[in-house]
Structure formats: structure tokens, C-alpha cells
């Protein structure tokens, strides 16, 4: 009880400084800095799936199953929460101090859409909030994390022009324009914990088994709108609109494990896995069909409501998911040896089980293979010898199926840039993480080919908390 009070008191004191910064960045990044996004594929399922790992992992192709770092939050696998640094009092099991991590990031996406059968291209850019996560050590080998991050995004706007003809004699009658528009997405607010159990092998090296669980609330909105107008100089037609707005949410549960096996005193093998069972989201839907006209001063005004149905209850069924992989790591030694890390992940999710109000969508089962590596030079006084250099790639079909399946692959590069220590805060450690990602969805046989270039900027700030004040 005293330990819990001590932790809560320390968190409140520290968050008076760090929370305003985190909230400011969250609010700033939740609102697009500039928005011109248009991804027609986000029409299907729950939208475009955003990256499910932090900036460090993204720059290594997205590997996360076996990744553990005390200076960042691997929110993909809750078993890694046991790795936050904590120190015990001498001759006691009480927490004396620990390193708490604030991890947050923003993305800048640039998309290019291209019709393989035509020369037309469309480009769009968007800057968006990526995640805010806090990692807190509770005891040695036991930690927790909480935060919020997006799961998917819906953003598209398409115009289709048609020439209407008389079905009897085939003569042209009128022209029409149909606008398809959608927005929304989903978010996950979560709280998780991870616990590690140690044992020693015959050589006296410590093996560690970590287990973790992440509980949260998954919520979001899907807003689809279709407008149809006739283009005629002499006859005035009513314009029609169909709008489908769905709000959904429910509890979400994820579990993970990691097993660290030291091969010798310098090299560690970590095998990990995480996943979740299928879940059912409670949903509420509004369906509106109406005619309207556009006024320059007042905007869109309703003329007549053809149909207006509100609060239609239903469910959205999401499929289970599972990821497994490993990381092989050699630790750097200051002024002596450099370090490196290599890892592989494999993930799978049967999206053919997805149901929206009992109906299937144009989706297929998804799998993805991710490979990544990190190189750390021999740490010396030179700044660039303390930088981590990362790279990786991934491949696998997208979960959307329009016509033929959509092959998807990508590559990434990244840097872990340490920030100098201040004399006023000698215990603070800050890293600026950069990731550059390229991904392509579709090929020459697809309806649309989409190229994505993403620049991600992350900040990992940590400080030692729970230090007992001493007075002379």
C-alpha cells in the first residue's frame, strides 16, 4: 500500500511537468498540420491500418516481438514492459528509484496514387499524431505502460463524372457527378503491465521469461457519404445525398511473452510473441437519405428527408491476430566494442472473418514478414559513434482485396540520435528517433497503385523518478 502511494505521488509530481508537454503534442498532432490525404483503399474494412510499433521498431521494418529497450516503450508486446529500469533499496524490496519513459511521435505521410492503365497521378500529404506512451517501473522486473495511439484511418474523396444516355435511342441526355467521401478511423487507449521471472543456467547466466498483458478501449467512427448531382444548364434537378455514420467501441485485451536466452556474456537471443483473440465492437449507426441544395452563404441545406434512421444498434467483428519473432543482439561496450541487433517477425490476421453489421467486406487474410537490423559503433567521444543506425524491410499482401489481391512491400531506414545531458538535469536521457519508410501497395494489374513515403519523428524522454529527497 505504501509502495502504491509512493508511486502515485511521484507520478503526480512529475506529470505536472511532463504531462502538459505530452498533452500539447497530442492535441497538436491529433489535428493535421496540413491535410490533403486521399486513400481510396481506406474505404474498406476499418480503414488504412497504421503502423503498430514505435519509431525505433518502424525503422527496422517493424520488428517488435522480441524487442526490449529500457529507454523506449515497445507497446506492441506488453511483455517488454518488464524491462523498464528499477532499483531496490539495500536490504529491502522497496522501490528506491526507477527510470520512467515518455515516448511520443508524429508522422508525415506523402502518398502518390496512380492508375496503371493511364498517365494520371495524384499526390497527397498529411501530418498526423502517431502515439503517446508512458513507461513506469513498479519494481525490479515489473513495469507498466499507458497511452493512446491510432489503429486505422479513413480518408478519401473521389469524384466520378458520367454521361447519361437514353436507353431507347442511345442519345445523350445529361451529365452527372457523383462524389464519394469518407473520414474517420479508430484509436486505442491502453494500460498494460509486464512481469519477468529469472533463472540461471549452468554457466551462471540469467535467463528471463517475461509475460505481459495490455487492456484498453478501442473506439472509433466510420463516416461514409455519397452525393449525386445532375449537370444541366436549363433544368434544375434536386441533388441527392446518402450518409452512413457509425460509432463503435469496446474493451480490448492483448497478451504477450518474451524469453531471453544469453548465448554468452555479450550476445542475447530474445524470442517473443504477442496477440489477441477476435473481438466484437458495439456499434451505433445513423442512415440518412435526403435531397439538398447548396447555398453560398449557408452551405449545404436539406430540402427533403427521404429516410432518416438513427441509433441502429449492431456489431463489428474484428479477427484475431498473432505475431511471433526473435531478436539476436550484441551489446556495445564503451571505448571497446560496438553492438548490433538483427530480428525477424511474422504476423498473421484472418481478415476474412471481419463482419460489419453481419456483412463481409472486400477483405482477405493478411500475413506479413518483417526483417530488421541495428548497428551501433564503438561508443566514444565523437557524437556519431553514439548514434544507432537502423534499417529493415517488410512484405506481404494487404488485407484489402479489390479485384486481385494487393501485394505490398516496403523498406525503412532510421537513426537513434542522443541528445546531450543538461547539468540542471543530469539523470535525464533523451533520444530523437527518425524513421524513413517507403511502401508500395498494388502493381500493374491493380485498379490503383499506391506509393507511400513516410517520415516519422519520435521523442523518447526518460528521467529517474522515486528518488528520496535528502536534506542537510
Confidence (pLDDT) at 56: 94
What pTM value is reported for the model? 0.85
Q: Measured at the alpha carbon of residue 279, what is the angle toward residues 275 and 284, in degrees to the nearest 5?
A: 145
Confidence of residue 276 (pLDDT cuts 50, 70, 90): very high
Confidence (pLDDT) at 234: 58
Which residues, at least 6 apart from 265, have a Cβ–Cβ distance to it below 8 Å?
A: 205
Mean pLDDT (the chain) is 84
Give the percent of the chain with pLDDT over 90: 53
pLDDT: which is higher, 230 or 141 = 141
How much is the average pLDDT of 109-114? 89
Confidence of residue 32 (pLDDT cuts 50, 70, 90): very low
Cβ(44)–Cβ(361) under 8 Å?
yes
Which residues, at least 6 apart from 270, have a Cβ–Cβ distance to it below 8 Å?
A: 66, 67, 68, 258, 259, 260, 261, 326, 327, 328, 329
Tell me the C-alpha distance between 66 and 74, whole Å.
10
Confidence of residue 468 (pLDDT cuts 50, 70, 90): low
Confidence check: pLDDT of 22 > 60 = no
Confidence (pLDDT) at 146: 95
Q: Closest Cα partner for 32 from 117, 124, 96?
A: 124
Confidence (pLDDT) at 7: 46
Tell me the C-alpha distance between 349 and 430, whole Å.
35
Tell me the C-alpha distance between 413 and 437, whole Å.
7
Phi, psi of 385 (to 5 degrees): -80, -10
Q: Closest Cα partner for 230 from 293, 168, 181?
A: 293
Name the grid cell of 290: 435526403
Confidence (pLDDT) at 15: 42
Confidence (pLDDT) at 98: 82
Length of the chain: 472
Give domain limits for the chain. Answer: 2-465
Cβ(390)–Cβ(400) under 8 Å?
no
How much is the average pLDDT of 395-419? 90
How much is the average pLDDT of 118-138? 87
Confidence (pLDDT) at 96: 62
| Structure confidence by residue, pLDDT tens digits, 144-154 | 999 999 999 99
Q: What is the CATH number that goes with domain 2-465?
A: 2.40.160
Q: Measured at the alpha carbon of residue 424, what is the angle toward residues 422 and 426, in degrees to the nearest 5?
A: 60
The DSSP letter of residue 95 is: E
Confidence check: pLDDT of 20 > 90 = no
pLDDT: which is higher, 334 or 349 = 349
Name the grid cell of 383: 557524437
Amino acid at each position: 500500500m505504501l509502495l502504491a502511494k509512493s508511486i502515485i505521488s511521484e507520478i503526480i509530481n512529475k506529470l505536472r511537468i511532463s504531462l502538459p508537454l505530452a498533452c500539447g503534442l497530442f492535441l497538436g498532432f491529433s489535428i493535421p498540420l496540413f491535410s490533403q490525404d486521399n486513400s481510396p483503399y481506406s474505404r474498406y474494412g476499418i480503414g488504412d491500418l497504421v503502423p503498430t510499433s514505435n519509431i525505433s521498431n518502424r525503422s527496422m521494418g517493424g520488428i517488435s516481438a522480441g524487442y526490449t529497450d529500457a529507454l523506449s516503450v515497445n507497446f506492441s508486446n506488453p511483455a517488454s514492459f518488464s524491462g523498464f529500469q528499477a532499483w531496490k533499496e539495500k536490504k529491502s524490496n522497496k522501490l528506491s528509484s526507477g527510470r520512467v519513459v515518455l515516448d511520443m511521435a508524429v508522422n508525415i505521410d506523402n502518398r502518390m496514387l496512380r492508375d496503371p492503365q493511364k498517365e494520371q497521378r495524384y499526390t497527397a500529404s498529411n501530418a498526423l499524431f502517431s502515439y503517446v506512451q508512458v513507461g513506469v517501473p513498479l519494481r525490479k522486473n515489473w513495469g507498466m505502460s499507458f497511452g493512446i495511439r491510432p489503429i486505422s484511418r479513413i480518408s478519401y474523396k473521389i469524384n466520378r463524372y458520367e454521361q447519361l444516355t437514353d436507353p431507347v435511342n442511345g442519345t445523350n441526355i445529361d451529365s452527372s457527378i457523383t462524389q464519394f467521401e469518407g473520414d474517420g478511423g479508430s484509436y486505442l487507449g491502453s494500460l498494460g503491465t509486464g512481469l519477468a521471472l529469472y533463472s540461471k543456467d549452468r554457466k551462471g547466466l540469467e535467463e528471463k521469461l517475461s509475460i505481459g498483458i495490455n487492456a484498453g478501449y478501442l473506439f472509433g467512427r466510420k463516416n461514409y457519404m455519397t452525393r449525386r448531382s445532375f449537370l444541366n444548364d436549363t433544368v434544375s434537378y434536386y441533388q441527392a445525398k446518402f450518409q452512413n455514420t457509425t460509432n463503435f467501441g469496446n474493451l480490448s485485451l492483448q497478451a504477450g511473452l518474451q524469453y531471453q536466452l544469453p548465448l554468452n556474456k555479450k550476445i542475447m537471443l530474445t524470442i517473443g510473441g504477442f496477440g489477441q483473440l477476435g473481438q466484437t465492437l458495439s456499434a451505433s449507426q445513423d442512415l440518412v437519405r435526403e435531397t439538398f441544395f447548396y447555398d453560398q452563404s449557408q452551405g449545404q441545406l436539406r430540402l427533403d428527408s427521404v429516410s432518416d434512421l438513427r441509433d441502429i444498434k449492431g456489431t463489428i467483428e474484428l479477427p484475431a491476430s498473432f505475431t511471433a519473432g526473435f531478436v539476436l543482439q550484441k551489446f556495445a561496450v564503451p571505448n571497446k566494442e560496438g553492438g548490433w541487433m538483427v530480428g525477424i517477425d511474422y504476423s498473421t490476421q484472418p481478415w476474412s472473418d471481419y463482419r460489419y453489421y453481419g456483412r463481409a467486406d472486400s477483405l482477405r487474410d493478411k500475413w506479413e514478414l518483417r526483417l530488421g537490423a541495428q548497428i551501433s559503433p564503438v561508443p566514444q567521444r565523437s557524437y556519431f559513434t553514439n548514434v544507432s543506425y537502423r534499417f529493415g524491410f517488410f512484405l506481404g499482401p494487404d488485407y484489402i482485396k479489390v479485384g486481385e489481391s494487393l501485394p505490398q512491400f516496403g523498406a525503412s531506414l532510421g537513426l537513434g540520435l542522443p541528445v546531450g545531458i543538461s547539468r540542471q538535469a543530469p539523470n535525464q536521457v533523451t533520444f530523437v528517433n527518425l524513421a524513413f519508410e517507403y511502401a508500395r501497395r498494388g502493381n500493374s494489374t491493380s485498379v490503383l497503385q499506391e506509393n507511400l513515403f513516410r517520415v516519422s519523428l519520435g521523442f523518447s524522454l526518460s528521467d529517474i523518478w522515486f528518488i528520496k529527497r535528502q536534506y542537510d
